[in-house]
Structure formats: C-alpha cells, structure tokens
Amino acid sequence: MQIKYFASVPYPEVTAQLERIAAAGLGLEIAVLDPHWILKVCELPMAAKLGQTLKEREIAINVQGPFLDLAPGSLDPFIREHTRKLFLRTVEIAGSLNARNLTLYSGYNPLLHSKVLDQWYEVGLPLWREVAETADRHGVRLCIANMFEEDPELQLRLIEGTSIQGTVGACFDVANAFAFSRRKINAWIGALAQYLYLVYLGDARNRESRPLPLEKSKVPYKEFFQVCMKRGLEPDLVFKMPAGESLEALQTIRKLGLGQLQIELL
C-alpha cells in the first residue's frame, strides 16, 4: 500500500515551510485561496518556477482552490460566472505548478440549495465540465470535495456528470463529513471508492468543523485505514492543519502503527 502524505500550506508560506516539509518526506498541497491574488496578482511564470523547484526536490504537489462564498451551481448567474473565472484561473495555476491534483469544493449549501437541488445541479454542470476539460488539458486531475453534503450521492453525481473518465475524482473531507453528515466514515469511503484520489485528514468535535490534533480525534482513523487496505485504495492523504501540526500528525500516525511501513500490522 503506497499512501503519500501531504502538508497543506498557503501559497505565500511555501518557501518558508519548504525545508521542514522536505525533511519530513511529506508532499505539499499548496492552498490557493485569495481571489484577488488568483485573478490579479499571480503570474504563471512565477508559479511555474516554483513548480520546477519542487519537482527538482522530488516533492509531490497538489493544489487546493478557493471556496469562500463561491457557488458553481448558484442560480445567480453573476455569482456563477465569478466562480467560473476563479476556478479556471486556478486550474492554470495548478498546471503551472505541475500539480497532480486540484481540489475544488462542490459549493453545496443545504440552506440555499436543498429545495432546488436539480436546478443547482443542471446550471452548475456546464461549469464543472469546462473546469474538468481545462484541467485535463493542463494535465491536472480535478477532485471535487464534499462541503455540507449529508451523503456522497451529490459528489458522485457531479463526478459522473463531467464525463471525463479518469480525470475527475473525489476528495473526501473527513471533518466536513463528521460535522455535517450522519453517515459513517466507512460508508463515505465505500461509496466514493472508485473515484477516491484524495482524503483530507482533520478532525471535528461536537459536530463543529474545526481541525484538531489527530491524537484527540473521534474519527475512527484506524478503521479508515483498514477499509482502504481491504479495498486496495491508495488516496493521497492531506493533513488539513498548520504545517507544524501536520508533522505532529504524521508522527502520531506512525506511533499508532498506521504508517506505510507498519500498516500491514493492522
């Protein structure tokens, strides 16, 4: 079982965190979140230069795109178009960085969309298809992540609706599922298995989506790894916490016997 662990670091902090991440043997998820920076500031040659540096150091790269107040399936065309521009530009940035995967959240909010779900899906699908096709041209795999979904069915519907086999998959956000879904973690993994490229490892207590140290987790991580082993799944695992805590989380997993070398002992 060849699982790769990633630390998630905002783009402006990558250079400062690079040495400690490289020393730990972690991959790097670069969080590209600021709309102004994405649309007005970022220069693709500079992103390509950083991507080349990371490639030369043999550091695997993923990218997380923006999500705050974005809605690919918004019934408001202005919000939808703003989301489209941000997503497409983020694909270009991810391609310049030589990223393997780009994670974008579905943008589903049950308070707004649950009663117009079919409309939400239909108006958003052309946007997702355009993003998926653009990502494919840039050699990047698109991963659609769960936000407030109560089950994985909507994720599956979006993934399968893009119609680009093998280039669109799922990112399973554990903390979001724990906070907003009644489904067991293993049920999510089972449903998303054939599309599962990425898993976000964080934690939440009292059904609040707030990252916590893994050693205090209520999420059944040992069971999660067992399910991945039984199904032969090898998603990238991303620690969704500050870089220093990511290093501690990696040590915790190794201490629990869940590291790559000890995982057979489960």
Q: pLDDT at position 203, please? A: 62
Q: Rounded to whole angstroms, how far apart are CA atoms 133 and 44? A: 19
Q: pLDDT at position 212, please? A: 46
Phi/psi for 125 (5° steps) reads -60, -40
Segment 141-184, tens digit of pLDDT: 999 999 999 999 999 999 999 877 778 999 999 888 888 988 98
Residue 261 scores a pLDDT above 50 = no
Q: pLDDT at position 34, please? A: 97
Q: pLDDT band at 263, cuts 50/70/90? A: very low
Domains recognised in the chain with CATH numbers = 5-265 (3.20.20.150)
Residue 257 scores a pLDDT above 60 = no
Residues contacting 10, CB < 8 A, separation 6+: 30, 31, 33
Q: pLDDT at position 191, please? A: 94
Q: pLDDT at position 253, please? A: 73
Cβ distance 15 to 30 under 8 Å? no
Q: What is the mean pLDDT of residues 60-73?
A: 96
Segment 71-113, tens digit of pLDDT: 999 999 999 999 999 999 999 999 999 999 999 999 999 988 9
Q: pLDDT at position 216, please? A: 60
